[in-house]
Structure 1
Amino acid sequence: MTAYRVSLRAVTAGLAASVLLFGVGCATGAGAFDAPRAAPVRHVHEGDESPAGDGRGPRALAYSPLCRTAKCIALTFDDGPGPYTARLLDILGREGVRATFFLVGDKPVHTYPDLVRRIAAQGHAIGNHTWTHPVLTGLPEAETLRQLALTQSALQRLTGVRPTLMRPPKGLTDARVTDAARALGLAQILWNVTATDYHHTTTELVRKLVLERARPGGVVLLHDVLKWTVPAVPGIITGLRAAGYTLVTVPQLYEDMRPGEQYPVWATAAGHG
């Protein structure tokens, strides 16, 4: 870790001059959103071996006190903000649902800074999805740190809150990416439910696949930059609620998320993210 601390200092020292100055928004939410039920019983789910091939074996995964008995599921959206994000925020606000957004720092965040502020203001969780969406496992360690640190700075300037979550593009991570995430205080969020909406390009199929593949404790991967995905969200919310699910953010789902650790540990990391 010493080498990473040195690299991190070197990288972050030069970030202030290279990141555009953003206004700071409010990160508080309002309205009646889904609230998972509290439960007095501790439940620990044993995870499978890490899907990322980083040599880290199985470990116990604990749901938050709120989700130990509630049938919780978390909707997550990658690669934004984009031209359809405002419509998604309208839907989520109308339905009283909070979700988790993994934002790309360069063009998306620079193009739609007001949407970043709105995501935070509506009470959604915001995560780091790197600066330009590269596969991190193919980068030198200093560039991995730069990709994450630049986005951390941009999101903090816009929202006033420093993210504690990251999602590696395409779900690909390894020991070096894990160390970089840990150095920046970021838990790695993968997924265990996906409609593969980057391949399935009809709204009805996206809705159908999410509902078929939903599972308690699920982390659902979707993309708000795809024009056919956002119209599927009302039906997804209705179907999940009809099946008894409580919709939560990723931080509401897990207990004591630790920097560098992967959640969910049984996720299948293949595919786009």
Structure 2
Amino acid sequence: MSPASLLAAAALAALLPAAVGSATDAPSTGAPACRGTIYLTFDTGSQSQAELIAQTLKRHGIRATFFLANEKTVRGDWSLDPSWAPFWRARVAEGHAFGSHTFDHVYYVKDGAGGAIVVKPQFGAGAGKQASWSAAQFCDELRRVDERFMALTGRRLDSIWRAPGGKTSPRTLAAARECGYAHVGWSPAGFSGDELSSSRYPNALLLQQSLAGLKDGDIFMAHMGIWSRKDPWAPANLEPLIAGLERKGFCFGTVPEHPAYLHDHSNKIKK
């Protein structure tokens, strides 16, 4: 588990206050007013829960935000292979939002000399090896997802990205901004815990803490499948989490609708 995950786990256990601003959607005609808005986000992973997540969101009429990397899947292919085009096209048709998660799920390691960014891809030709990139190369890695997604679906990404493991630096954030991407993390109470040990963090505990801690404006993060978790999070927790939040009067939105990103018109992806 990455240091970022350990920190997030500590934040989860402590149920710290939300780290992002709040917002309330305007109610539609005849519908009760929302008590607040939660922003569900899902990062690619093993994709073992991809269909379940998609169908659960569709059943509840929820639009979420997906952050995409080209990751190895339980089907033996890759999450941005042409074989996944029907899945992603269906999500586009449903009105979800999409951001870059770096093509090869590239972890930031440290700042290097002369403005370089030291990274470690998880997949691809350089998997497991550290490399020193310029800001332009870092931007190219974000754009690779946009180019592939456009080829698969005919739609461009939204101008947002999420760093693998949530690991960033002022240098990576600046490089991404230069090519039009705003970084999206998650709220302390929005850490699902789906990458943690299921023996130490059983699903029932994670669900209880999410329902107790999530507040108006919070960005929630889960994965579309995690290889390492013995008892997967989504089958047990996604439906009761959504139902529980709905009972509390929460509505749901996509990250581009979040007040922290809605009015930032400067973030346009530079092709």
In the superposition, the TM-score normalised over structure 2's length comes to 0.66
SS of the aligned residue for 1:89 comes to helix
Of 121, 132, 141, the residue aligned with 2:93 is 121
Q: What letter matches 1:99 in structure 2?
A: A
Q: Does 1:239 align with 2:244?
A: yes
Q: Does 1:248 align with 2:248?
A: no
Q: Does 1:160 align with 2:154?
A: yes
Aligned to 1:71: 36
In the superposition, the TM-score normalised over structure 1's length comes to 0.66
Counterparts of 2:94 and 2:88, CA distance in 1:
10
SS of the aligned residue for 2:80 comes to helix
SS of the aligned residue for 1:198 comes to coil
Q: CA separation of 1:197/1:233 partners in 2, compared to 1, >3 Å: closer, same or farther?
A: same
Counterparts of 1:252 and 1:96, CA distance in 2:
16
Aligned to 1:206: 206
Quick one: percent identity of the two aligned structures?
27
| 1:99 Cα offset (Å) | 0.9
Q: Considering only aligned residues, what root-mean-square deviation do their CA atoms show, in Å?
A: 2.8
Q: Does 1:133 align with 2:105?
A: yes
Counterparts of 1:248 and 1:220, CA distance in 2:
11
Cα-to-partner distance string for 1:101-151 (whole Å, 9 max, x where unaligned): 111136321152222212211111111100111213533224422321111
Counterparts of 2:145 and 2:160, CA distance in 1:
12
Cα contact 2:203–2:233 (8 A) shared by 1: yes
Cα-to-partner distance string for 1:15-67 (whole Å, 9 max, x where unaligned): xxxxxxxxxxxxxxxxxxxxxxxxxxxxxxxxxxxxxxxxxxxxx96858759
Cα contact 1:103–1:128 (8 A) shared by 2: yes
After the TM superposition, which parts of structure 1 deviate over 4 Å for at least 4 consecutive aligned residues? Answer: 60-67, 258-261
Counterparts of 2:167 and 2:265, CA distance in 1:
18
Aligned to 2:232: 228
User: For this pair of structures, how many residues does the alignment match?
Assistant: 202
Aligned to 2:80: 109
Counterparts of 2:207 and 2:22, CA distance in 1:
28
Counterparts of 1:215 and 1:229, CA distance in 2:
21
Aligned to 1:38: none
Q: What letter matches 1:236 in structure 2?
A: L
SS of the aligned residue for 1:135 comes to strand
